[in-house]
Every structure is written in structure tokens, then in C-alpha cells.
Amino acid sequence: MTLFKKPVSVKGTLLVLLLPAGIGLMALAWLVHGLLLDRMAREFVESRLKDEVAFLEHQIRESGGRIDTLQTGDYFQEVFHHSFAIQSPDRTLISPESWTPLLMPLLESGPDGATQVDSRGSGDSPSSILAYRESFQVGDTPIVVIVSEDLGALKRSQAELHAWTAIVSILLIVLLVAVIWLGITLSMRPVVTLKAALKRLQDGEISRIAVQAPEEFQPLVQQLNQLLDSLDQRLERSRDALANLSHSVKTPIAATRQILEDTSRPLDAPIRHEMATRLGDIDKQLEAEMRRSRFAGPQAGKSAYPVKQARDLLWMLGRLYPEKSFELSSELMEERRWPLEEHDLNEVLGNLLDNAGKWSEKTVELSLLEEDGRMIMRVEDDGPGVHSESLSSLGGRGLRLDEQTPGHGLGLAIVREITERYGGTLTFDTGARGGLRALVDIPWT
């Protein structure tokens, strides 16, 4: 059985953590205050007693050791508010006399300096005193002086001050609870606003979340909006795919139907070849649109291992083009991840490498690197290359059946489309080997 139930809300969790911590710290401060107060009070009283002993010693020396001439008694108690005892060989003075049982043993024998004396107390004598004893000589006359203070009265004053400190501490704890509650309520207000925005989004009143969230919630809002963008893009791609299919397969189907419905013509070899060509066009169009529909685009929590996937693709293309060499150049670690969906990365690298493999003479080189927070993929071959005036048209948008012939066609268009969905760019130029060099540059999101 669990002793503590896990809080079901952030507010409850914060209260469970902060409130006991605040109370504990306040209690610790109160205890430390009591210890410091007792120590400081004792040191202060001891310092005063030492000064008063020095004053009495000065008076006795001025009188030549004649303690009967000292102005003590009521004067000393009224001015210094302390009790005293003075002893010489021929006389002993103790004021007030009720302190005699406490001070007499110190006069007869005791160490010099501060000493605490405790007793059960009788009559007007206190139960605990702090006394400062000093012994000296005036000429040949030994003198002992003691000045003392009632610790009971001091402790009562300390207890009163400590009690007021406890009351103030309790008030501060109440104030702390109110401040914590107010702080948590104000801090959780953006969550309430975000919850309301999600409800409006669910009801179809808004299409994106546009709340002024604090810095801690900005990544959450951005990821939610990015997810909504991804869903809209997928819906738009599905609609485009259906429109493309509807437009592209309509003519081949109509031609095939016309041939089948024309009973006056026999199905000879040329007609069968024409029907197979039409059906092949339909199959190619379906395959192209299916490939486009699998593009994911940026997605939270999705990542790929570029080096590993590149090695796998190079191995596969090496078997497809055994007479050509596929090389990888990269300083990335094998376990390095890029925030790209695995299928998207495979499509980009696979299409670029396949295109380079078709046109290269002997060598295809793939480079993977990171520069200034950007992911860069560069594919270069040693083939005939492309005329400079035609470089800008490579990977152009729009699906045409002739794009699927060997060379720069549908594959490059797919690479450009995926790259743009990640906010990157696809550029072409002439490489150092004289062939085509394709450069994919995607910002790190």
C-alpha cells in the first residue's frame, strides 16, 4: 500500500513540494534564531559584567583598597542593574544580601572570569546567575570583586522575544502560502489559456494556436502548430494525388475502353501492345503518386541515422551498378542523428545516388556534413554533367510521364519536394570531377 498518493495536477505537485519546504526552512530559521539569540545575549551580558568589574577595580585602587569608602549599594544597583560582591581581608560587601548564598562560595574560592551558578533558589535569590569574578591586589591587600546578573530575567526576556519571533514566523508562513498559491495560479494561467485554445481548435473556431505562451510553453505550441501544418500538408497531398490520378489516368482508361468496345477490330498484336502501353502509363502514374503520398515532412520525435542509412544505400547501389564505385565521405559518428523522417532521408539519398549512378562513368561520391546548424548532403559523379543553362530546370515541379525515363526526372523532383518541406534548398552545379553535383541544404530545426 502506498503511503503518499501522487498529485494529479501540477498545482498540487508544486504545493506539496514548496509548502513543506517553506515551513521547514522557516522552522529551521526560528531554531537558529533562538540559538544565536541565547549566544549573543550571553556574550553581551558577559562583556558588560567585565566592564563593570573593571570599573569597581578602578574605584578600589583610587581609594587605596578601602572598600568602605566606595559609593556602592543602591547607587550601583540603580546605575548598573547588577548585583556585586567585594571582599577584602577585613570586610565583605554583598548587595543585595539575598544573593549571599550564591556569591559567597565564589568569593571564597572560584576561578576568575565568567561563571554560571545554578541553585534551587530561596527567598529573593535567583535560581541561575552569570557572575564575573576578578581578584587583584592593592598594595599588599588582596581584593576579590564579583559582578553578577540574574539569568532568569534575561531568559524571560529572550523567551518573550523568541515567542514574538514565532508569531511573526507563523504570519510569514501564512503569507508564504498565499504567495505560493498566487504564484502558482498566475503561472498556470497560460495552461488554462492553452486549454481554451485547444477547445476552440477542436470546435473548428480556429485553425492554429496563437496564444501568448511563456517561454517554457513556446516549444509545445510550436510543435502543436507544426503537427497541424503536417496534417494539412498530408490532406493537401492526398487531394493533389487524387486530382493528378484523376487527370492522368482518365485518357489512358478512355483509350483502352475505346479499344475494348470496338468489336469491329480484332485484338491483334499492335492493339495489344497499345493497351499494354496505356496500362503501363497508368501503373507508372499510380506508383509515382504513391511515392509522393509517403513523404512525411518534419515530425516531432522522428529522427534518422544518416551515416548508417547512407552505408546501406551505397551497398545496395553498388550491387545494382557493380561496374561503378560508390564512396562515402563524412566526419559524422555512426550514432549521430538528424531530425529527419527515415523514409524521407532514404528518398532523398536514394534518388540522388540512383541518378548519379545512372550517369556516372566510374565514381559516385556522397558527402554528409554539418555546418552552422545545417544538415548538408552532397552527391557528385564523374559523368557528362549538365549544361549550365539547364541546371535551373532540374528537379522542376509537375509530374510528366517522360520524367520517369532514365536521367534527371521524377527522382530529382521528389528530392526537391521533400527538401522544401523541411525548409531546405536543392541546388545543382558542375562538380570537380566534371559531372553533376547536387547539394541538399536543410536547416536544423
Q: What are the 10-residue block averages of pLDDT along the chain, 445 residues in total? A: 55 77 82 82 85 84 74 52 80 80 81 79 70 85 86 78 83 84 81 80 76 75 79 71 64 69 71 71 65 55 85 91 92 90 88 90 93 92 83 60 44 84 88 89 86
Supply the CATH classification number for the domain 14-156: 3.30.450
What pLDDT is recorded for position 368?
94
Please report the pLDDT score of residue 425 as a whole number.
92
Give the per-residue SS3 of the chain: CCCCCCCCCHHHHHHHHHHHHHHHHHHHHHHHHHHHHHHHHHHHHHHHHHHHHHHHHHHHHHCCCCHHHCCCCHHHHHHHCCEEEEEECCEEEEECHHHHHHHHHHHHCCCCEEEEEECCCCCCCCCEEEEEEEEEEECCEEEEEEEEEEHHHHHHHHHHHHHHHHHHHHHHHHHHHHHHHHHHHHHCHHHHHHHHHHHHHHCCCCCCCCCCCCCCCHHHHHHHHHHHHHHHHHHHHHHHHHHHHHHHHHHHHHHHHHHHHCCCCCCCHHHHHHHHHHHHHHHHHHHHHHHHHCCCCCCCCCCECHHHHHHHHHHHHHHHCCCCEEEEEECCCCCCCECCCHHHHHHHHHHHHHHHHHHCCCEEEEEEEEECCEEEEEEEECCCCCCHHHHHHCCCCCCCHHHHCCCCCHHHHHHHHHHHHCCCEEEEEECCCCCEEEEEEEECC
What confidence score (pLDDT) does residue 39 get?
84
- Spatial distance between the Cα atoms of 8 and 228, rounded to a whole number of angstroms: 28
| pLDDT score recorded for residue 112 | 85
* pLDDT at 29 (0 to 100): 83
**Domain at 306-443: CATH code:** 3.30.565.10
C-alpha cell at 222: 510550436
- CA 321 – CA 430 distance, rounded (Å): 22
CA distance 414 to 346: 11
Q: For the chain, how long is the longest CA-to-CA vector?
A: 159
Quote the mean pLDDT of the chain. 78
Sheet holding 363-371, edge to edge: 325-330, 363-371, 374-381, 436-443, 425-430
Contacts of 190 (CB under 8 A, 6+ apart): 211, 212, 213, 214, 217
pTM greater than 0.85: no
pLDDT attached to residue 406: 44
| Model pLDDT, residue 376 | 94
